[in-house]
Structure 1
Amino acid sequence: MGALLLSSLGNGLCFPFTSIYISQLLGLGGRAAGGYFIAMAAASFAAALAGGPLADRGSPHRVGALGGAALAVGYALLAPAGSVALVLASGVCVGAGFGFFYASIVGIVDLAVPESGRRSAFAIRHIVNNAGIGLGSVAAGLALHGAATPVGALRWLYLANGLAALPLIAVTLGVRPRARPGHGPADHAAEPHIDAAGKGRGEEKPAEKPRPGPTYRTLLRARPMALLILAQALFAIVGFTQIEATVPLLMHDRMAVTLGWVSAVVAANSFALIALQPLLRRRLERLPETVSLAAGPVLWTGAFGCGLGAALAGEAAPAAVRYGLLLAFAVIFAAGELMYSSAFYPLLLRWSGEEAVGRASALASLAWNLGTASGPPIGLFVVANASATGSWLALALGAAAAFTVAAALHSRTTDA
């Protein structure tokens, strides 16, 4: 987790500035910036599809290390970038890095922790990732504040981001399969079999080659898996992207909330993730995973309801009421995030089986990318065309739509 925190911190150093850096500071224009993100998206899509089967056939830690190496190279390439070609090459490397890494992450965690610790491990991973990005953004802001040449400072930040991925590569390569209960370190298929005469015949009959795991199509034909992947996309669209992109704009532009309070609400969400995890850990472990997954959007609906209450209260309301409701939004939303992170990937691992976890992780990554690409434009469109109360209501309805899918998933598995 320490290596993941360092890598996420590196991402946070550059995360908010890439489009500005390419288009304005490097003077390459908006087309070059758009080309970077298009190249990154295309490479991520291709790498995820290729990385899933690779992780299933071989070892996920090698695929994850390949992803980390591609991220390191991609971000480092932006440091000396001065041409469109180098910018596009960086986008391809970064996209491939994310595609390979997220196609392997579930398998890596499965190798690193026992089954009883999966839910906590995935919840902690979510917290560490967000905390790292937040700390990196703060560090970048301090580094750029008053910098004589912002482009020069950003070049160093991109180089630091590339270097921050190196420990993650080393740690990922160091992950090795744990001995499963009841199994020794050797593969059972390689053990000698004893015939009726007491003679070993293990050397006479070579072990059968493992059959290939389920294909992407096979996985999606299973209704629970298809619903789970759909839920992943919806959770990204109506939840995670909205708190990152839409809610800050909604508070500032539609509710006249100062930038200081916008930052405070975002920070409260990050701190709540850290504070709530140990408090909710045992409760989360007792809840069935499908119930926990469905509880996430329920909590988000309540969180958006708090925002709606703050909007209805208006600027005339006492500050304690208005800002208290916004802080309540941040905390309740964080609880919903923990519900999701503790349930989604354990369900993905269980339903895919270890022989197809790479492909299932790739599908989850593609669904997430679809959600993060489409969520912000949808949210910003809502804010631009609706009032503050209408925007909060639309966000709550979106979370309710995600709940219907998660509830259908729970119902489907309960009936089965």
Structure 2
Amino acid sequence: MTGIKTFWSALPTEGRWLLSTVAIQTLGRGLTLPFTIIYLHEVRGFDLGLSGALMSLIAITGLAVTGPGGTLIDRFGARKVLLTGLAAMIAGCTLLAFATHPAVAAVALVLIGVNFGVSWPGFNALVAAVVEGDLRQRYFGVNFALVNLGIGIGGIIGGFYVDVHSPETFTAIFLVDAISCLVPAALLLGPLRHVRTQAEPSNEAPAAGTYREILRQPAVLWLTLLTFIAMFIGYGQMEAGFPAYARQVAEVSTRVVGLAFAVNTAVIVLLQFTVLNRISGRRRTRVMWVMALVWAGSWLILGGAGLLPDSVATAIGVLAFMGVFAFGETLLQPTVPAIYNDLASDHNRGRYNAINAAAFQVGAITGPIAAGLLLGQGLDAIYIMVMVVGCLGIGVLATALERRIPASANGVVAEETSSRPRAASSTHEV
């Protein structure tokens, strides 16, 4: 498969429904994501520290419900769990649109966090039930590009529309975010109502396995550690470490920082499908090594930009960092969720995806804390060094992972896997 038309024609009907509305679904989230803390602080008048603490409720709640959510997905199916999460999201966004008291905002953000915690494992389980093999890897990559497109467009529209002196503009975008959730809800209640993610009931069905049993598998343990580090040095820095370094050390304008995020989105959208064609049939662990080197190069570029603060060269370096980093993202996003789902079975797919989501969330929570500690102490050179070493650590973990997963889960074509011994690929086989 070499083109978009070939990829689209290879998808089952359910896969087309899932993919065709992704950008629309994420448009609402893009409208509110960059402006929520501005809304809490500048529009509702909450203290900045309190606003930051309120924002953290999304990630904290998401992490808390991810584990139970994965178990519920395996027991009742992804559809029911996703619909519950969407209902919480609609209620949370609607409540936040009119929140004039911190307690009301806290309840709203907790509800949003519930959806945040169950949507990732639920959606990935749904995708895995619809597509498989190399097509699944390509699906995850294309979906990632469309998510970025929707959030990017939403952010641009929101930036032009909202006005801190007009609270009704913020009320409007949160209500649009709530309304956008009706799109996936309609899909789950309509065209996707027959998609089943949980295993068929059977007296001979193997035990699904607890989280402890799943994490005892070396392949899952190494993959989860790799995911955590990738998130810690990657997405964990996008909302805190990178903007702080760009402003305090590189001394670029906020306009350059905003443009850098636009570059990130553009590179992902433009390159993702080309990257998918190039990595198809290749070992996913080798792709991770390339990604690790690309990300290490991006952090070195940012570190170099900090040596010439407040200059045109620095601005170019900051933009280049985001472009190169985005290229690394196009290598990471198709591979990691594909490995998790190829290792899982229908009896524990929800839990595998919950582990993936939890590793992501912990990395996204601890990354900004580390960035704040290092950059707050003026240790900008050490900060860059930690990021580069972390990237190389991803490569080392990828090498260790390659020796512990079956070739089929590593993206190797069937002709090559037939000549190699097969490793255990699900909890009940270990």
Same fold (TM over 0.5): yes
> Which aligned pairs between 1:73-84 and structure 2 lie closer than 5 A?
73-84=91-102
Deviation of 1:357 after TM superposition, in Å, equals: 0.9
Q: SS in structure 2 opposite 1:129? A: helix
Distance in 2, matches of 1:387 and 1:287, equals 39
Matched AA of 2:108: S
Aligned-pair identity (%): 24
1:159 paired with 2:151, answer no
Deviation of 1:156 after TM superposition, in Å, equals: 1.3
CA contact (8 A) 1:219 1:352 kept: no
- Give the equivalent residue in structure 1 for 2:35: 17
- Give the equivalent residue in structure 1 for 2:221: 226
- Give the equivalent residue in structure 2 for 1:276: 271
CA contact (8 A) 1:64 1:102 kept: no
CA contact (8 A) 1:65 1:170 kept: no
- Give the equivalent residue in structure 1 for 2:23: 5
Matched AA of 1:368: F
Return the match for 1:285 from 261, 280, 284.
280
CA contact (8 A) 2:285 2:398 kept: yes
- Give the equivalent residue in structure 1 for 2:305: 310
Which range moved further: 250-259 or 170-179? Answer: 170-179
1:57 paired with 2:96, answer no
Which range moved further: 29-38 or 241-250? Answer: 29-38
Q: Deviations over 1:140-192 (max 9, x none)?
A: 111124x642x22111111111111110112234326679xxxxxxx7x9xxx
- Give the equivalent residue in structure 1 for 2:156: 138
Distance in 1, matches of 2:48 and 2:244, equals 22
Return the match for 2:337 from 329, 345, 348.
345
Distance 1:24 1:221, change over 3 A: same
- Give the equivalent residue in structure 1 for 2:391: 399
1:215 paired with 2:210, answer yes
Distance 1:166 1:279, change over 3 A: same
> Which aligned pairs between 1:17-416 and structure 2 lie closer than 5 A?
17-29=35-47, 33=51, 36-37=54-55, 39-145=57-163, 148-149=165-166, 151-173=167-189, 174-175=191-192, 208=203, 210-312=205-307, 314=308, 319=312, 322-386=314-378, 389-413=381-405
Distance 1:390 1:216, change over 3 A: closer
- Give the equivalent residue in structure 1 for 2:4: none
Deviation of 1:97 after TM superposition, in Å, equals: 1.1
Matched AA of 2:369: P
Distance in 2, matches of 1:89 and 1:216, equals 29
Structure 1 residue runs of 5 or longer lacking an equivalent are 180-186, 190-206
TM-score (structure 2 length as normaliser): 0.81
Distance 1:290 1:141, change over 3 A: same
Matched AA of 1:330: M
Distance 1:299 1:64, change over 3 A: same
Distance in 2, matches of 1:79 and 1:350, equals 40
Deviation of 1:371 after TM superposition, in Å, equals: 1.0
Deviation of 1:89 after TM superposition, in Å, equals: 2.1
Structure 2 residue runs of 5 or longer lacking an equivalent are 1-18, 407-420, 424-430
Quote the RMSD (CA, aligned, Å).
2.9
Distance in 1, matches of 2:22 and 2:351, equals 22
TM-score (structure 1 length as normaliser): 0.84
Deviation of 1:225 after TM superposition, in Å, equals: 0.3
Distance in 2, matches of 1:263 and 1:362, equals 32
Distance in 1, matches of 2:355 and 2:48, equals 30
Distance 1:382 1:38, change over 3 A: closer
Distance 1:271 1:224, change over 3 A: same
Distance 1:74 1:2, change over 3 A: farther
- Give the equivalent residue in structure 1 for 2:7: none
* Higher radius of gyration, 1 or 2: 1
Distance in 1, matches of 2:355 and 2:241, equals 26
Distance in 2, matches of 1:309 and 1:35, equals 33
CA contact (8 A) 2:43 2:165 kept: no
CA contact (8 A) 2:93 2:177 kept: yes
Distance 1:405 1:93, change over 3 A: same
Which range moved further: 231-240 or 110-119? Answer: 110-119
Q: Deviations over 1:205-248 (max 9, x none)?
A: xx636344111111100011011112111111101222343223
